[in-house]
Structures are given as structure tokens and as C-alpha cells.
Structure 1
Amino acid sequence: MQLPKLLPTTVVGSFPCVKGTGLSALFDPYKKAVQFAVAEQLRAGVDIISDGQVRADMVQAFVSKLPGINGNTVTGTIGISEKPITVADTRYALTQTKYVKGILTGPCTLAYALKIATPAYRNRDELVLDLAAALHSEAKFLAASGAYMIQVDEPILSTGAMDIETAKEALKIIFRDIATPSCIHTCGRLNTISSEWTRLPVDVIDFEYSVSPDNLSDISRHDLRNKKIGCGCVKSSEPEVEPVEEIEKRIRSCVEVFGAKNILIDPDCGLRMHTPEVAFAKLANMCEAARNVRAEL
């Protein structure tokens, strides 16, 4: 995988939702939110942006579009959405920059958020694989749209609630016959799963470092098999905007362990819960810190 520059900056995904108003908002109240999220990421200096994930929470954005699901309940066999779910917003972002990551909520995380009320599935492992098949369709749409990277968000893996071998099989299904670079993001402490997690079949593994600094040493113990590393160097869980110098220290620590040519810099997780001003400031400081460290190398 070829990175756009040394120490490229990116986002995990979400940005605060600023809906539109007026007549145009009657047709699509989220159109302005997408445009605003894209513009703010670029204004902050982010190299690889997302569409902002502003239309719904990470679960409902997908399960509300899939046959076999009613609300948060699985009522039948999971089907494939008739239309792309996220592609229109991704295509808009691609009109502003060629470096856009498409983002999918992972099938393990989706399955854990759903109640099974059908004999079609005996357990969540079976559900995960059908969800992965549905997400494969969306991944193909994203690849065809020209997305630079496709990221799967699986925060549930760090809790140990879902079998990581099932996650591995699910990722194989999602990215089958897709050449677009693949990524998995998992927040939280990874000490209990780091060995298996670092072997997942993706091109980029993205982890939380700012509030879980021990993840750095846990991950570095394993053979990463030429994977790129997404290093969360900004706290997404706190409203405080860290000083540039503090973020620089985290970036330097990651560079010392993984090498500057192998890492991407991003926040620990999405920024949707913050005000737009705080989200922008966090991204702007992150980008300034990356530029400063890049200039040292």
C-alpha cells in the first residue's frame, strides 16, 4: 500500500453533525452536514478524510438498510441492501480530494448490537458471517466509487465479547476480490487479543494509543507482516484539545517503534460527540503536530 506522504493524517470516521436549514434541507437535511464535515477535515489539513458519518449512529446507519432486520432485532435471514448505503456521501467527498476512506461498521459490532428473534441463526457467529456478506456488497460499491481505503470499525473486539477468529473470517468475506486497501480499527485495550488482532487479514491495523498507551508495546511484540499502522495520537474521549507538543510526543513514540514510513496518524476514535469547534481544533492540532514531526525526519 502506497501512502500519500510520510506520516499522513487521517480520521477514524465520524464528525459532529451540523444539519442544513431552509428549503434544501427539506429534501436532504444531512447534505449540508456532509459538506461541512468534509470541508472542516480539509481545512484542518487532514490528508485522508471520511464523509463524516453524519447520517446516523454507526449501527443504525447499516442495519436500518438491511433486509432481515427490524429496528434492533433480527427477524429473518440477513439480505443485501438494494442500494449502496454510504457511497453517495463518499462520492461527494471524492469530489474534494482523492484521498477518502470508506467506512463500514464491522459485522461483529453490528451482531452484538442486535437481538436475534429468528430460528435462521443459532448464534451470533452465524449472524456475523451473513452480515459480512451484506457488507461485502457495500465494500464493492465503495471500491468502485474510487475510495482510497476501506475501513471496518470493530470496537467490540477489544472487549472479548466476540470471537476474533469469526472476525477474521468475516474480514475475508468483506474484502473478497477487492483490491482497495483494507483497514480495521479497534479502540480500547488490546492486550488480551493483540496476537490474533495483528494477524487479521487487512493492510492497515488502526489502534487507540492516546488513552491506551500500553497498546503500543503490546502490538510491537508481534510480527506485523508488512502492515501499515494507524496510530491514535489524539484523545477522542475527552473535550480537552491537547497541545501540539503533546501530540508530537505521541507521534514520535510511534515512529520509534514502527518507523515513519509505516504509520498513519489519527485520533483514537470518531469525534462525533464533540462540538464542531472542538473536533476541528483536535484535527488541526494533530495535523500541525504531524507536519512538525515530518519536518524533523
Structure 2
Amino acid sequence: MVFGRKNKKVVPFRTAGELDAMAAAGAIVGRALVAVRAAAAPGVSTFELDRVAEQVIRDAGAVPSFKGYHGFPASICASVNDRVVHGIPTESEILAPGDLVSIDCGAILDGWHGDSAWTFGVGEVSEADRMLSEATEKSMVAGIAAMVPDNRLTDISHAIELGTRAAEAEHDRPYGIVDGYGGHGIGREMHLDPFLPNEGQPGRGPRLVVGSVLAIEPMLTLGTSDTKVLDDDWTVVTTDGSRAAHWEHTVAVTEDGPRILTLRPSDSG
């Protein structure tokens, strides 16, 4: 989930034990996302996907981060096709073959938050949609690689942007980097300072130290960078109707390199 916009001198950091606690919360998020993807099929509603995620989270002894957050009514954000983020699951939204689905999920375990998102297709999707999701994931991976001690916040932003540009060159097409949304600090609250833009010049903002944690979450589109919020006051959509993708991991800085705290089952990152 996407919020926040302030700076501090150092990106908030955690002890090794606290990172392990966050990884436990993140592992529950990973399992919930895998379960949702397994359940996502033509004829299934996004409301049903929400029930799947909540069941996994509660069965693990955790609490959904999103449910009730500023009044959000569900345990996942389900953003289909031109919806970028914060889509509210409903019984009336039925998945169809070729839909591109972004699922954002959070869980709280022992007071610590995990937050992660991924995009996948319902059945076969178009080549353009497949590449869009691939480009977004690659941008996230580039940002994760910049999570090293003594980097500045916008070194991550710049890395994400460069990841997007590399995907554009590889795919021979442009992508829209969604304006105004990005990653954030996370810990005992889901959204902490600083806000992490998904593009920009390097070398600015607070410094990363061992134990610093950020949710890294690029959002790309097949068209515009501009969005609007629907009348539900939550769902963010592209203004031109182009499809969007959203990938996110909660990541910590360690002496041994970036540590992904929201790994999914059988996922190396």
C-alpha cells in the first residue's frame, strides 16, 4: 500500500532480531499472495480473493494490515487492468481471461508489518501486459539492489528509474512511471517516513544504514504517468485507461547485502 512524504537524516533502522520479526510477518504476506494467485481464475470475484488472503493471514496468527486502515474495507488491494493501486475487492468484480491483476497485501505479526505486491495474469495475457509486469518487477529488483549502507534514499529512486529505462530499451517500448506514488518506510507502522519516489536524481535524502527498512514498490503503465482516484476515494486508475502493474517487497539493508523480508514460498526474491 502506498503513502507517505517526509524526510529524516537516516532511514529508520531495526536490530537483527527485529528484522527477523519483520521477516516472519513478511512470510505470511508471501503465503497469502501465493494463495490469492492460486485462487485467481476466470469467474472468481476479487472479493473471494480477499477472503482467501484474510484466511491465510488470520490462520497464521497475524492481522491484516490493510483492513480498517483509514477506513479501507478489505485485507488486500485488488487492482485489475487500468487500476494502479488501492483497488477495493468487490463481489461484482469478476475476473476474466486476459485480466492483469495487481494484488497488494499486508500483515501484522507481533506488532511488526510486512507489505508486498505482485502482478499476474488471469490465464493467458497479451505480450504487452506480460512485458509490463516483467518491466515493473525488474525495476523493483534494481531498486532492491541499491539497498546498501551509505546510499541515499534517491539512489534507490534512481536505480528504479534506470531499471525502467533498461526494460524500455529491452522491450522497445515506453512505460509510464506513475506520478506521485512510491515506496515508504515500514516497521511497527505500515507507513513511515521517508516517502520513496520511483524516479529522480541520485544522492539525495536520508542515508541508508545497516537495518534500514523500506517498502520498494514501482508502478508502471503501458501509457500515461497520470492517474485519478475513483469515487470510492481509494481506487487509483490511469487517466487514459492503459493497463498498470505494481510490484513490491519490504527490504532491509544488511552488511551482507539487501534482505527481502517478504519472500514468497519457493521464492528466492
TM-score in same-fold range (> 0.5): no
Q: TM-score range by the shorter chain?
A: 0.3 to 0.5
- Normalized per residue, the structure richer in helix is 1
Which has the higher Rg, Structure 1 or Structure 2?
A: 1
User: TM-score of the superposition, structure 2-length normalised?
Assistant: 0.32
Identify, as 1 or 2, the structure richer in strand: 2
Q: TM-score, normalised by structure 1?
A: 0.30
Task: Pick 1 or 2: higher relative contact order, CA cutoff 8 A, min separation 6.
Answer: 2
